[in-house]
Amino acid sequence: MNATSTTERPDTGVEGNSRLTAVNGTLLIVLFAVEGVSILNIGRLISLHIFLGVLLVGPVLLKTATTGYRFVRYYTGARPYRRKGPPHPVLRMIGPVVVAASLAVLGTGIGLIATGPDHRGPLLTLHQGAFIVWIVVMSLHVLGHLVEAGRSTWRELREPRTVPATRRRPVRMAVLVLCLLAGTGLATALMPAAHSWTSRTAHDFGQHDDR
């Protein structure tokens, strides 16, 4: 009995980490999609673009933490993670690039809030360049994990509490909500500092106002 329980807990932990990563990743896809729409009409949607961009800090850091934890556990020889196996070699190669590009996009974005549009200089170029790199590697990342993430998300949302892996589901959902609240709080706190950006018109961004 004790041996079985000892074996079950780590395996359940692996599944729990996978489910949290998957649900958070699914949420990130939706949020990034909305952020992408805001770019298409940045002049009118600059407030949404900035608020959502800062809000993303919470879920992105959570995604980095859960995938980083799996990485460390796998390469330090933890048996449950070794049994699960690593991602595809291509996905392992682009994983660090996805993390670096995501942090670069968010970091330069927050930097632009601090500097304002009149002193954007090379920071805006870095922000745009990081975004181009990010969208390429992120597209590959999403395609590579889409099926697995979809299945894990479905199991997390639909399986009954009698399944061992779902017993800590409330904790995972609480972590996810806390990260969203942290991102929302940070975005709310920084919005006044972004006034120099949000007060700009569509014309200032090189877009025509058709009203």
| Coil, helix or strand at residue 209 | coil
CB atoms within 10 A of CB 134: 21
User: Residue 62 half-sphere exposure, CB side, CA atoms within 13 Å?
Assistant: 29
User: Does residue 7 form part of some domain?
Assistant: no
Residue 192 falls within a domain, yes or no?
yes
- Residue 57 covered by a domain: yes
What is the token pair recorded at 37?
Answer: 């729409």
Please tell me the distance from the alpha carbon of residue 30 to that of residue 122, in angstroms, as a whole number: 29
Give the whole-angstrom CA distance, residue 35 versus residue 200: 18
Q: Does residue 4 belong to any structural domain of this protein?
A: no
Shortest CA distance to 28 belongs to which of 113, 127, 109, 145?
A: 145
Residue 139: domain span? 13-201
Look at residue 3 and tell me if it is in a domain.
no
Q: What pLDDT tens digit does each residue of the chain (211 aa) get?
A: 344 444 444 478 899 999 999 999 999 999 999 998 999 988 889 999 999 999 999 999 999 999 999 999 998 989 988 988 888 888 888 989 999 999 999 999 999 999 998 888 899 999 999 999 999 999 999 888 888 888 999 989 888 888 888 889 999 999 999 999 999 999 999 999 999 898 875 555 655 554 4
* 209 domain residue, yes or no: no
Question: Cβ(207)–Cβ(42) under 8 Å?
Answer: yes
- Helical residues (DSSP H) of the chain, grouped into ranges: 2-40, 42-55, 57-75, 79-84, 89-115, 121-158, 169-190, 195-198
Which pLDDT value is given to residue 206? 58
206 lies in some domain: no
Q: How many domains are contained in the chain?
A: 1
Distances (CA, A) of 4 to 7, 8, 9, 68: 5, 6, 9, 27
Give the number of residues written for the chain: 211
Domain assignment present for 207: no
Q: What is the C-alpha separation between 133 and 110, in angstroms, rounded? A: 18
Report which secondary-structure segment, H or E, holds 149: helix 121-158
Q: What is the pLDDT of residue 8?
A: 40
